[in-house]
Amino acid sequence: MEQGPAKEANVRDAVDQGKAMWQDAKASAGDAVNKASSVARDMSAAGSQAAAQAGEAIQGVARQVGNQASQAATTLYEQGTNAGGYVSRYTAEQPWTALLVAAAIGYGLGYLIHRP
């Protein structure tokens, strides 16, 4: 009957080993979950930072394009004003020539529009 207590001790040892293995596996799984959570937080922070940097870059480009458009509009306005002044002076100095040039331009446009 000595085998009975020996078997019982072996079973207890096996159960104890199983419990220890279970605790190790549980701790390893917990560590893995913590590491995965940490990596996910880091990736989320990096993604948020990248999105913020992209937003700042887009805003910078939009400001630059807006400034360039404003400068172009100002330049165009000034050139239009200068051209208007030039046409006014030329018309005052040479009214018949200005009339003939205007008639030729009008005829050319009319010809292009009504041409089949």
At 6-24, the pLDDT tens digits run 767 777 777 777 777 888 7
pLDDT of residue 36: 80
User: What pTM was computed for the model?
Assistant: 0.44
pLDDT of residue 38: 81
At 78-98, the pLDDT tens digits run 998 898 888 888 888 988 998
Q: Rounded distance, CA 23 to CA 53, Å? A: 45
Tokens read off for 109: 């446009």
Return all residues near 91 (Cβ < 8 A) that are at least 6 apart.
98
Question: Do 98 and 90 contact (CB within 8 A), yes or no?
Answer: yes
**61: Cα separation from own chain's centroid:** 11
- Please state the domain extents for the chain: 3-114
Question: Do 91 and 98 contact (CB within 8 A), yes or no?
Answer: yes
At 25-53, the pLDDT tens digits run 777 777 778 888 888 888 878 878 888 88
**How many degrees, rounded to 5, is the angle at CA 104 between CA 102 and CA 106?**
70
